[in-house]
Amino acid sequence: MQQTNPENENAVTTVEQTQETESQKLKAPQEVIAYLAELFPNCFSVKGDAKPLKVGIFQDIAERIDGDDKLSRTVLRSALRKYTSSWRYLASVKEGAKRVDIDGNEAGTIEAEHAEHAANSLAESKQKVAEKRKQQRKNADPKKPAAKKAPRKNIKPGSSKAARKPGTAKPAAKVEKRDPSIPLTVGMKVNVLLGNSPLSCTLKEINGEDVVVETASGMTVKTEKKHII
């Protein structure tokens, strides 16, 4: 009669349990946000108006759901990044608006530079979608000639017509450059060049020439040291 090895049986059981746990984890960002909306209904939502999130809310959520079989930190971080870059969330980030923690309590106020960054990000995102749809329509009907652009009028510098139109983004504020003699440390407030304008962030990780920073909206971004100005 063949004897079984208890150690082998335990190893197989452990592997099966691990596989079962992994299969239970949420992977799609939409599923994660829906789950967060169930856990923290006063903070997250899946439709309608969004609420600006507390700075550093990722860590608060990670601590609250520690041991939850459905969520991993990697997927949670990715889902939060998608949530805070959505149109309805960016539209909520207005100067003076109140941020909320995971329980819906007030946790700070939106500053002007964060509101301006959100407005610029929203405008850029909508422009990209509009251009993509325009290209799709053009590809769907290649015989249709493209609409001619109206001739551009010459406007003299300094004239009233050359003034900035209402509703356009303000020119970026002058940012004081960092003293290179001061070493970078985790937790330091730094200005990072993200896109076309610098943004105030908190330094979270330093890995050689790469760094991870966190924006005021709670979004984490990996970039290079050379982008810190």
pLDDT at 180: 76
- Arithmetic mean of pLDDT, 2-26: 53
Rg (CA), the chain: 24
d(CA 41, CA 52): 14
111-131 tens-digit pLDDT? 999 999 999 999 999 999 999
- Residue 193 pLDDT: 83
What SS3 class is residue 188? Answer: coil
Q: Is the dihedral of CA 219, 105, 44, 132 positive or negative?
A: negative
User: What is each CA distance from 208 to 13, 211, 215, 217, in whole angstroms?
Assistant: 40, 8, 21, 25
Domains of the chain by start residue, with CATH: 12-113 (1.10.1710.10), 177-227 (2.30.30)
- Tell me what pLDDT residue 21 has: 47
47-51, 92-96, 137-141, 201-205, range with the lowest pLDDT: 137-141
Mean per-residue pLDDT, 98-113:
94
> What per-residue confidence (pLDDT) applies to 15?
41
- Name the most confidently modeled range: 18-22, 106-110, 211-215: 106-110
HSE-CB at 121 with a 13 A cutoff on CA atoms is 23
Q: In this predicted model, what pLDDT tens digit does every residue of 139-172 receive, in sequence order?
A: 886 666 656 666 666 655 555 555 555 555 555 5
User: Among candidates 158, 138, 154, which has minimal Cα distance to 146?
Assistant: 138
Q: Tell if the pTM clears 0.75, that is, is over it.
A: no
Q: Which two tokens stand for residue 107?
A: 């946790």
Helix axes 73-84, 29-39, angle to 10 degrees: 90
pLDDT at 69 over 50: yes
Handedness of CA 157, 159, 161, 162 (dihedral sign): positive
Q: What residues have CB less than 8 Å from 177, skipping those under 6 apart?
A: 191, 229
pLDDT given at position 12 = 46
Residue 7 predicted with pLDDT over 80? no
pLDDT value at position 36? 93
- Give the residue-averaged pLDDT of 209-217: 86
Say yes or no to pLDDT of 96 above 90. Answer: yes
Question: How high is the pLDDT of residue 170?
Answer: 54
What do you get for the CA distance between the two ends of the chain, in Å? 73
Q: Report the C-alpha gap between 133 and 89 in whole angstroms.
A: 22
| Dist. CA 176–CA 92, nearest whole Å | 28
User: What's the average model confidence in pLDDT over 50-63?
Assistant: 93
For residue 133, give the H/E element and its range: helix 112-140
pLDDT at residue 18, rounded to an integer: 43
Better-scored residue on pLDDT, 8 or 57: 57
